[in-house]
Structure 1
Amino acid sequence: MSSAVVIQRLAPMRLLTRCAGVLASCRWPWIAQPLIRAFVYRHRIDLDEALHSNPGAYRSFNEFFVRALRPGVRPLAMAEWTSPADGRVSQLGGIRAGQMIQAKQRSYSVEQLLGDTALARQLEGGTFSTVYLSPRDYHRVHMPCEGRLLGMRHVPGTLLSVRPDIVEGVDGLLARNERVVCWFENPRIGVFAVVLVGAAIVGSIATAWHGVVAPPRRSKIRQWLYGEDDSVHRARNLLQGEEMGRFRLGSTVVVLMPGSAWDFAPQWEIGEHVLMGQAAATRP
């Protein structure tokens, strides 16, 4: 076990996350601006892509971290499946016998990741890919294809780092961390899921239709269903490339696609950096 993994296991990650959240949400300029400018320098962030390129335009670190991009800097590729985020492809493969490969051929349960037996069965035999968002990446998550929102589930869990080296050292980490599971239906493709996995120092996870879903100190699974009936929340259709969620600090997105007949784009390989909207996969 590496020293980084040992530190993750021993450190009070939830307390550290709460403390970081207080600092990140502070709007006092004498706190927010030094944090923002130090972060930009440390991670060599290209603010020319941002809608507001001046660090002084952001009232808090959180506001800076989920900054919008200028229109046109992430063109949407002509592909059935596109990248949901900027980041590095950390894993991809098939969903077999209810399991997905995490790293170094270690597997973890799809049912545990989703918190839903029925949804896991629907996606059996499908394909998944995982994108790790480093602190320097753009941190809004977009739809990989068009879909009608069916449901959302907040699953509480640990808050371990999702850095690739940590993920490799902890069995089933992505299915243990706090996460927000969203599932959709596309009339041509079928039901698919997008899982936003929280991590150490991630203050919250939010979706475009709900706002903050995973604030601190939630211990019970919560679920929202969406449909045309008045007995459930109102359904909505999201277009490919439309914003669906956002993280505060680095994290991971897992996309579960129905069916195995997908050809991944040449740049969609483990270890490669991808941009939101780039082609990810098409049917042969």
Structure 2
Amino acid sequence: MSDPDTAAPATLGDHLRHWPQYLLPQRWLTRLTYRVTRVRAPWFKNALIRSFARGFGVNLDEALDPDPRAYPDFNAFFTRALKPEVRPLAPGDRTVCCPVDGAVSQIGIAQADRLLQAKGRTFSLAALLGGDMERARPFQGGAFTTLYLSPRDYHRIHMPLTGQLREMVHVPGALFSVSPLTARMVPELFARNERVAALFDTEAGPMALVLVGAINVASIETVWAGAITPPLGTTIRHWRYPSSGAGAVRLDQGAEMGRFNMGSTVILLFGAGAVRWETAIQPGAAVRMGQALGAGSAPGT
């Protein structure tokens, strides 16, 4: 885990690149992105997909349908499915599998209610989960990791462990970029941006997947509820789910649980002593969905 007390000072260039974000009409641009990425005119969407794939080096050989022209709009391409064999799950009943393709921004253990955002910056766990201390309490002092999805990455989110959904929370907020630069510059970034938190019960105890929105992230979806945002909203919404019967949601390890319609960040949370991270997984490491991030243990063991 990075040392929060050894922050490199922000440079003038950092400030010049970052400050325009405060002036941008974040919500208007995000609504525009939503519309543009769903335009179905073949000449437009095909040109957009080709230029994006070429510019970001997207590996279309991994896509379930490698033909860019086959997608009805850009968003369908952006959230494309992959061939099952290209993301095998790491073996082991209690192996914590990576939920996404991306890069590790931070990984470590929460210091009470504080999570490390970047060197010299932390943010509130309770604020991240909607300001409810009781909701946050099971994760205090627990293992966490923040995973950044770049535009070129696969943008579906999968289950690290088999889990029973207990609660979902949508917290409206800002739409700052979640790039490494912004994480260094914006205080409490992940507790300020729009986000959807899904809380599960697993063999390793409570687990939360927090899907953090950003500018141009025009929609966050889950497989059980569909699109949660838009609308972006102004008030916190939450849903509780039964453990059995009608309305119960249980997802196997590796199953899709949601997706970003345009890219962002996922924060994965566990309770104290529940998970040991792999020592090789450090900030900056590239990760793929299904690879081993750590090992979980049953509560009380």
By how many angstroms is 1:261 displaced?
5.6
Tell me the residue number matched to 1:226.
Answer: 241
Judged with a 3 Å threshold, the aligned counterparts in structure 2 of structure 1 residues 146 and 221 are, in CA distance, closer, same or farther, namely same
> CA separation in 1, counterparts of 2:165 and 2:274?
23
| 1:135 and 2:151 matched | yes
Name the SS for the 1:246 alignment partner.
strand
| 1:41 and 2:46 matched | no
- After superposition, residues 208-223 of structure 1 pair within 5 angstroms as 208-223=223-238
TM-score (norm 2): 0.90
Name the SS for the 2:254 alignment partner.
coil
By how many angstroms is 1:129 displaced?
0.3
Query: Alignment partner for residue 170 of structure 1, among 179, 186, 197?
Result: 186
The question of whether the paired residues in 2 share the 8 Å contact of 1:203 and 1:216 is answered with: no
What amino acid is the match of 2:206?
V
By how many angstroms is 1:263 displaced?
3.1
Q: Which moved more, 1:167-176 or 1:261-270?
A: 261-270
TM-score (norm 1): 0.95
Tell me the residue number matched to 1:111.
Answer: 126
> CA separation in 2, counterparts of 1:217 and 1:199?
11
Tell me the residue number matched to 1:192.
Answer: 207
> CA separation in 2, counterparts of 1:124 and 1:50?
38
Gaps of 5+ in 2: 1-13
Tell me the residue number matched to 1:94.
Answer: 109
Tell me the residue number matched to 1:64.
Answer: 77
CA RMSD, Structure 1 to Structure 2 (Å): 1.5
Name the SS for the 2:167 alignment partner.
strand
- After superposition, residues 138-149 of structure 1 pair within 5 angstroms as 138-149=154-165
What amino acid is the match of 1:195?
V
Tell me the residue number matched to 1:270.
Answer: 283
Gaps of 5+ in 1: none
What amino acid is the match of 1:118?
E
Tell me the residue number matched to 2:171.
Answer: 155
> CA separation in 2, counterparts of 1:225 and 1:259?
23
Tell me the residue number matched to 1:74.
Answer: 87
Name the SS for the 1:213 alignment partner.
strand
| Identity percentage of aligned residues | 46
Name the SS for the 1:227 alignment partner.
coil
Q: Which moved more, 1:174-183 or 1:17-26?
A: 17-26
Tell me the residue number matched to 1:52.
Answer: 65
> CA separation in 1, counterparts of 2:112 and 2:280?
28
The question of whether the paired residues in 1 share the 8 Å contact of 2:205 and 2:271 is answered with: yes
> CA separation in 1, counterparts of 2:213 and 2:249?
24
| 1:121 and 2:134 matched | no
The question of whether the paired residues in 1 share the 8 Å contact of 2:204 and 2:296 is answered with: no
By how many angstroms is 1:265 displaced?
2.3
By how many angstroms is 1:228 displaced?
4.5
By how many angstroms is 1:97 displaced?
2.3
Name the SS for the 1:25 alignment partner.
coil
Cα deviation per residue 1:137-177 (whole Å; 9 max; x = unaligned)? Answer: 00000001111000111100000100111111101101100
The question of whether the paired residues in 1 share the 8 Å contact of 2:275 and 2:294 is answered with: yes
The question of whether the paired residues in 2 share the 8 Å contact of 1:76 and 1:277 is answered with: yes
What amino acid is the match of 1:252?
T
Name the SS for the 1:219 alignment partner.
coil
Which segments of structure 1 move beyond 4 Å, counting only runs of 4 or more? none
| 1:6 and 2:19 matched | yes
By how many angstroms is 1:266 displaced?
4.5
By how many angstroms is 1:260 displaced?
3.2
By how many angstroms is 1:120 displaced?
0.7
Cα deviation per residue 1:243-269 (whole Å; 9 max; x = unaligned)? Answer: 000001120000001123643225421
By how many angstroms is 1:105 displaced?
3.0
Query: Alignment partner for residue 269 of structure 2, among 230, 241, 256?
Result: 256
Judged with a 3 Å threshold, the aligned counterparts in structure 2 of structure 1 residues 229 and 72 are, in CA distance, closer, same or farther, namely closer
> CA separation in 1, counterparts of 2:101 and 2:54?
19
